[in-house]
């Protein structure tokens, strides 16, 4: 069992309630070694999805919308799942991550069944895939980042950034809010719905490309699962359309090793305090 699977485990406690524990092994660590944002939001979404899928009539989280309300601490918490509809094509649950009696993460999840990639008899169409250089030419964080950052989230994921979007690592932001890279866990584990929930928000914030550094807290993120991912490394590409009033949007796409679009997300976040 990987650290990711341990960190996202849920324990049924009856009446749609699950005991969970936001895991400090996925904490966000700042450059000076202090913990910020406490626990990565993607891990929290994966945890909530495990609770939802435990009682879902359909296997795939087609649409997950998440509003991040409070900073989670690495201490016991609960997920409360309430089904609002259980239909033949789609079912929808409200699922709230609660800590010390206060909602930390409010999600609504619509589940359904995604067809096999092959043999889709219906209408099928996909836009252009992102262009990434070979993974060997991409930049890991091994040399660029300080050792302290390898505690927590950055110690669990193996991200390799397209050099064209990594200039900020050496203090030379590209001047456009884009980020592209390869994503996998450092442990050997194939992607699934839970890992996609992590992948959609795994890249550094797109505004780093504009020179805005610092932790950028996600306020809302919605992601769609579009296909069951093939084994192997994922490619993630993110762009932004608008930055103003201290808010920015970030849209990401996740493509699998077979070249299929497997997840899409969009989030709105606050610009980091260092900006």
User: Is 63 an interacting residue with respect to a copy of itself (CB under 8 A)?
Assistant: yes
Residue 153: other Cβ atoms inside 10 A: 22
Cβ proximity to a copy of itself: between 72 and 152 the closer is 72
Parallel, antiparallel, or unpaired: how do β-strands 218-225 and 261-270 relate?
A: antiparallel
Binding mask 222-241 for a copy of itself (x = CB under 8 A): x-x-xx-----------xxx
Does 62 participate in binding a copy of itself (rule CB under 8 A)? Answer: yes
The DSSP bridge partners found for residue 251 are 239, 266
Under rule CB under 8 A, residue 123 binds a copy of itself: yes
Quick one: 11 or 84, whose CB is closer to a copy of itself?
84
Please choose, out of 100-108, 133-141, 158-166, 197-205, the segment that lies near a copy of itself by the rule CB under 8 A: 100-108
**Total residues in contact with a copy of itself, by rule CB under 8 A:** 58
* 53 is a contact residue toward a copy of itself (CB under 8 A): no
Told to check if 174 binds a copy of itself by CB under 8 A, we report no
The reply on whether position 55 binds a copy of itself by CB under 8 A is no
Which C-beta is closer to a copy of itself: that of 67 or that of 151? Answer: 67
Nearest approach, Cβ of 217 to a copy of itself (angstroms)?
10
170, 201, 168, 169: which is closest to 183 by C-alpha? Answer: 201
The enclosing H or E element of 51 equals: helix 41-54
CA–CA separation, 107 vs 87, rounded Å?
Answer: 19
With beta carbons less than 8 A apart as the criterion, state whether 54 and 18 touch.
Answer: yes
Give the containing element (helix H, strand E) for 62: strand 60-68
Q: Which of 71, 106, 169, 214 binds a copy of itself (CB under 8 A)?
A: 106
Q: Pick between residue 89 and residue 188 the one whose CB is nearest to a copy of itself.
A: 89
Instruction: Report d(CA 169, CA 142) in Å as an integer.
Output: 12
Compare residues 29 and 104 and give the one whose CB is closer to a copy of itself: 104
**Using CA atoms, how far apart are residues 195 and 5, in angstroms rounded to an integer?**
9
56 binds a copy of itself (CB under 8 A): no
Q: Distance between CA 258 and CA 191 in Å, rounded?
A: 12
CA distance 134 to 4: 26
Among 110, 149, 156, 252, binds a copy of itself (CB under 8 A): 110
Q: Applying CB under 8 A, does 264 fall inside the site for a copy of itself? A: yes
CB 99 within 8 A of CB 52: no
What is the C-alpha separation between 259 and 254, in angstroms, rounded?
A: 10
Interface residues toward a copy of itself, by CB under 8 A: 62-63, 65, 67, 69-70, 84-85, 89-90, 92, 94, 103, 106, 108, 110, 112-115, 117, 120, 122-127, 177, 207, 210, 212, 219-220, 222, 224, 226-227, 239-249, 251, 253, 261, 264, 266, 268, 270-271, 275
């Amino acid at each position: 069992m990987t650290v990711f699977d341990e960190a996202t485990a849920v324990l049924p406690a009856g009446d749609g309630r699950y005991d969970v524990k936001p895991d400090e092994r996925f904490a966000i660590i700042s450059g000076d070694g202090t913990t910020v944002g406490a626990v990565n939001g993607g891990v929290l979404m994966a945890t909530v999805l495990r609770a939802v899928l435990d009682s879902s009539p359909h296997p795939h989280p087609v649409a997950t919308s998440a509003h991040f309300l409070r900073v989670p601490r690495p201490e016991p918490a609960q997920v409360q799942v309430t089904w609002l509809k259980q239909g033949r094509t789609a079912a929808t649950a409200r699922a709230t991550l609660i800590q010390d009696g206060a909602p930390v993460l409010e999600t609504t999840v619509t589940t359904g069944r995604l067809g096999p990639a092959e043999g889709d008899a219906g209408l099928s169409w996909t836009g252009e895939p992102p262009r990434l250089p070979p993974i060997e030419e991409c930049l890991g964080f091994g040399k660029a980042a300080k050792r302290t950052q390898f505690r927590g989230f950055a110690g669990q994921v193996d991200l390799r950034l397209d050099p064209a979007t990594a200039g900020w690592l050496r203090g030379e932001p590209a001047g456009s809010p884009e980020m592209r890279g390869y994503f996998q866990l450092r442990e050997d584990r194939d992607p699934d719905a839970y890992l996609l929930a992590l992948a959609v928000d795994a890249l550094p914030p797109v505004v780093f490309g504009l020179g805005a550094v610092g932790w950028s807290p996600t306020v809302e993120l919605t992601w769609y699962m579009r296909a069951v991912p093939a084994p192997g490394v994922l490619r993630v590409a993110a762009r932004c359309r608008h930055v103003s009033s201290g808010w920015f949007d970030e849209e990401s796409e996740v493509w699998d090793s077979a070249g299929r679009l497997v997840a899409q997300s969009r989030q709105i976040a606050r610009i980091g305090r260092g900006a």
